[in-house]
Chains A and B, each alone.
Chain A
Amino acid sequence: GQNIDQPTEMTATEGAIVQINCTYQTSGFNGLFWYQQHAGEAPTFLSYNVLDGLEEKGRFSSFLSRSKGYSYLLLKELQMKDSASYLCAVRDSNYQLIWGAGTKLIIKP
């Protein structure tokens, strides 16, 4: 079967760095996406990885290792507005997105 695993919840301090991990087992791989979702709102796109390595975009970076079926999202200089759920999704061989349940990130002052 297809499976995406992420921690359910993480807590971090304002100004710090946090790494959210995602492991996956899917039928085929055509890219991995990270989305941010504030409570009751739509997911918004953060990053896309299809090749191994690190993609940096401002305070956010995303890493992919296809051989290990592993990705992480790194958030630096955390701000209170970063409190949200972070969703990992893998595009499979049918070009459909398989979604993880999301990681709820709580930022404390």
Chain B
Amino acid sequence: DGGITQSPKYLFRKEGQNVTLSCEQNLNHDAMYWYRQDPGQGLRLIYYSQIVNDFQKGDIAEGYSVSREKKESFPLTVTSAQKNPTAFYLCASRSLAGDGSEQFFGPGTRLTVL
């Protein structure tokens, strides 16, 4: 079955620690995205990538970093510089073929910083 996996589903970290969230897709999609979701707000774009070894900052990239060494993988690191990291993190991917292709989402990782 094709899809997007994120791990872990729940993650707890102490303040000041970096943490890396995994995102893998086997849909052969070129584009991958990281969003953050907070209560009462729309999804906010952190980073996105449309091709291997290239990625772009979204609206709230400060305190986050990514890499895209393989087409299938787009890990997100939440660094200690992120002031309010507790949130629900969603990874998505999309085919760049065609005009109307939707984004497919992984199950999400809920990060809690203690």
Interface residues of A, Cβ cutoff 8 Å to B:
4, 8, 30-31, 33, 40-45, 48, 50, 87, 89, 96-102
Contact = CB atoms under 8 A, between A and B. Distances in A.
A43 B107 CA distance: 8
A50 B100 contact: yes
Interface stretch (B38-46, B65-73, B78-86): B38-46
Contacts, number: 46
B90 A48 contact: no
A40 B45 CA distance: 18
Say what secondary structure dominates the interface of chain B. loop
Contact of A42 (B40, B45, B48, B107): B107
Contact of B45 (A31, A45, A96, A100): A96
Interface size of B as a range: 20 to 34
Nearest to A50: B100
A4 B42 contact: yes
A34 B108 CA distance: 19
Contacts of A33: 102
Contacts of A87: 42-43
A45 B90 contact: no
A43 B105 contact: yes
Contacts of A30: 99
Given A31-B100, A50-B99, A50-B100, A44 B105 contact: yes
